[in-house]
Structure 1
């Protein structure tokens, strides 16, 4: 990197959360005109490091120096004023505010004249920015709640880059985006680099890390391991550096049942003419016990609404969701009481009680099953058991979920339904934000559940996940099922893509 100028230096950055040493005196350099990936397992310290840089967390000890001047942002707005921005993994927009208000949050002063906010001028400027980013379909004057999770992430991308920051942190953002959204984000990242600025890119997808990055730094258990040029490594080498040992890459299923002979189990869920206006239309399919059924498609195909519809969480749903015993599922309580588990793609807002403890999140659905007398000890032991089974990195189960990394939050979601021992699992993006090692463990867990006879439905934007894990795959397009594909060693990603577009 001798031709490039040092832009940001972190000197012995350190952070503890009680007894947990999240970042251990990490020193790193970031240069002008580079995309610098920061990778590691869940809990390795990468998000904690960048959260201190961007004002989300106070710096424990150590110093950040940007263009030769020490910076210690008090919050994200203060970080923006220092030329540092972040697009976070989870939802970073505030409900109840318009798109424009979210875009200029903390910077409204430029639209205030004589003590009065000029909302019209704010909306106009926000719409001009959205149009310039090729996102003219998003209306600046609408409340952001009108838009889905992915669209709100696109708003955050515009918000974080319109002021031309020196440092842009992209923290696991690609896991929230479909193909179109990822392309837009990658365009923005390349544009930031081309302007002589720096992108700090956090991702668990080793393919996109190698595709997008110039240099890659690895953290493990809070320690800095090394920095490598992308030209010197491949995916296997990066995985080894992350976990400290060679990784077996064959973590998908290896069986290919003969479906003319091996029939799936009884029907667990029958979906009949299910429609959610504007999302999905006239869906008819069956999920069987002892199978993993996949749903895939492009980001706006409607597949994420399928899980909500089955779980009774689509309040304007039409049609029927019928269980094997004849029960009609029309609300969430009925679903839970009849052994249906649901994990949403938007885990912070729809799958977790984000401001409650790990213990609360794991035990709440199972309390009725645990008997009348629920002692603190009994609840804690229950939560400990399933948090440990998911290898959750935490201080203890009394820790608040909000303090966990994205991957560890996902482990808590899955631990909850493990504890509930649900027979029907509807999992939307189950490995989103999960590192390689834990992803392998989750795939093995799903396969074990399938063998036990549970019915599993996976909604995923990862094509290889669908091909590697599912017995059948439905491809959705424009809110409808466009194709059904059977598990086969000959099935390729191109077979799925051809039915998506």
Structure 2
């Protein structure tokens, strides 16, 4: 074995029932390397790295770590050996403190005679937070005080320490703000410079091209190729991922940003927490984008517009009247795709079928009975339209990959034929082929006269898809842009920071 190889897998195979998740996968991770992993949803990326991290065991195959046979029985064992993983989904425990989350499983370090020294735990946790240059989080606070993005930062603090030799980053950047991403990039580059290694999973090709030294492409559980920095090319990567040329059309190709006069959704002088006297109008046949940094208030706008959070002052109106709560919003033909799919968008213990049909049940009902034929037809159409990888429609959603979960959260509203769609980071965690299909579907919805409020942290997505873009900072709109071939990231960024 070469001395610069930190980790090597040989012939790793893993199945889940009839599904072959990994088939004879062999890969070598070297010292000082940032190794990118990319593939369509369900290609095996997360399965491979979860085996390396100790979350689950392979059915067959071997692993070698620092020259020795390696077969961790748990993530705790993996971490003790120096292999840490930041999970794609939420990895913090609610209703306990930040400090308790950071030292979860290591409380013995602060325990004497059966009593935990909370003060010492908080002090050491805060020291670790400060070492990552995170100024917004206090170790003594309850974890519930913080949102999804801050919790992802805390996961980084929890799993990375001086003994970490390999860091696995599984789709973490999609949950982070701009500042959070920069912090993570700085960390992984530092690790690489120290001769450690990073396995970096992302669907963002620009991010992979910028961050990674080597790129491994998986398709249907097998490695289909490996590219060096010099060989990385967007069109080649896309073709390797999907097994075909998906073409150059990704975002909209037109620059006609016109839409109807009719207002389908409006927030009028809305105040909610730091959001004061906020006004915005969405029109028939319009794709209105809202962008900004984390904490700008853009995610709050989506929740208020759908009636999840009730404003202290002001009103939310649709064509059918006031939006008083999310139930009313659904009755008014509105839909909401949440950024945090596991908490707000899906019933994880429910089946793919149950999740897809849930908003549409009133329309499938006849004389208090649900038509099984119509129900099955609706589900099969969405599974086919969005290429949801599932063994069968009765499979639990929590058994799907992160990207396929996102497809389900998207599909349950497109199945309902909603007229006003509020989408908060709708393409988070999905591969380029599905993103392309989603963008084409959004464009079709616009042509059908539907109204879309697209909240996104990706400027390329906003510029590529929207008729208007409202950029928020400090809970107010700082600047609006109209669709234009000349509009670029640099035109927008100055109003965000």
TM-score (norm 2): 0.96
CA offset digits 1:180-220 (Å, max 9, x no partner): 11100001111221222110000111111111111111111
Equivalent pairs counted in the alignment come to 495
Quickly say closer, same or farther: Cα 1:440–1:317, change in 2 above 3 A.
farther
1:457 corresponds to 2:456: no
Structure 2 residue aligned with 1:492? 488
Alignment partners' CA distance in 2, 1:294 and 1:121: 46
CA contact (8 A) 1:71 1:82 kept: no
Name stretches of at least 5 consecutive residues in structure 1 with no aligned partner: none
- Correspondence 1:290-301 to 2 at 5 A: 290-301=285-296
Alignment partners' CA distance in 2, 1:100 and 1:377: 52
CA offset digits 1:98-151 (Å, max 9, x no partner): 111111111111111111111111111000000111113201111111111111
Structure 1 residue aligned with 2:335? 341
Bigger shift: residues 447-456 or 191-200: 191-200
CA contact (8 A) 2:259 2:283 kept: no
Structure 2 residue aligned with 1:147? 146
1:442 corresponds to 2:423: no
Structure 1 residue aligned with 2:240? 241
CA contact (8 A) 2:352 2:396 kept: yes
CA contact (8 A) 1:127 1:136 kept: no
Structure 1 residue aligned with 2:349? 355
Alignment partners' CA distance in 2, 1:200 and 1:390: 28
CA contact (8 A) 2:319 2:332 kept: no
CA contact (8 A) 2:259 2:286 kept: no
- Correspondence 1:58-457 to 2 at 5 A: 58-257=57-256, 262-278=258-274, 280-315=275-310, 317-325=312-320, 327-371=321-365, 372-374=368-370, 378-457=374-453
Alignment partners' CA distance in 1, 2:24 and 2:373: 37
Q: CA deviation at 1:78?
A: 2.3
Q: Provide the secondary structure at the position in 2 that maps to 1:345.
A: coil
Give the one of 460, 463, 466 matched to 2:462: 466
Q: CA deviation at 1:374?
A: 2.1
CA contact (8 A) 1:361 1:416 kept: yes
Quickly say closer, same or farther: Cα 1:59–1:316, change in 2 above 3 A.
farther
CA contact (8 A) 1:42 1:434 kept: yes
Q: Provide the secondary structure at the position in 2 that maps to 1:500.
A: coil
Alignment partners' CA distance in 1, 2:140 and 2:311: 25
Query: Which ranges of 4 or more aligned residues in structure 1 deviate by more than 3 Å?
Result: 315-318, 375-381
Alignment partners' CA distance in 2, 1:420 and 1:73: 45
Q: CA deviation at 1:60?
A: 2.2
Alignment partners' CA distance in 2, 1:349 and 1:163: 33
CA contact (8 A) 1:472 1:484 kept: yes
CA offset digits 1:39-92 (Å, max 9, x no partner): 111111111111122222332221222112233333322221221111112211
Alignment partners' CA distance in 2, 1:428 and 1:76: 31
Q: CA RMSD in A?
A: 1.6
Q: CA deviation at 1:426?
A: 0.2
CA contact (8 A) 1:54 1:84 kept: yes
Q: Provide the secondary structure at the position in 1 that maps to 2:15.
A: strand
Q: Provide the secondary structure at the position in 2 that maps to 1:421.
A: coil
Alignment partners' CA distance in 2, 1:209 and 1:365: 36
Alignment partners' CA distance in 2, 1:425 and 1:128: 43
CA contact (8 A) 2:215 2:232 kept: no
Alignment partners' CA distance in 1, 2:311 and 2:99: 28
Alignment partners' CA distance in 2, 1:346 and 1:388: 24
CA offset digits 1:335-389 (Å, max 9, x no partner): 1121111011111111111122111111111111111222555534432221221
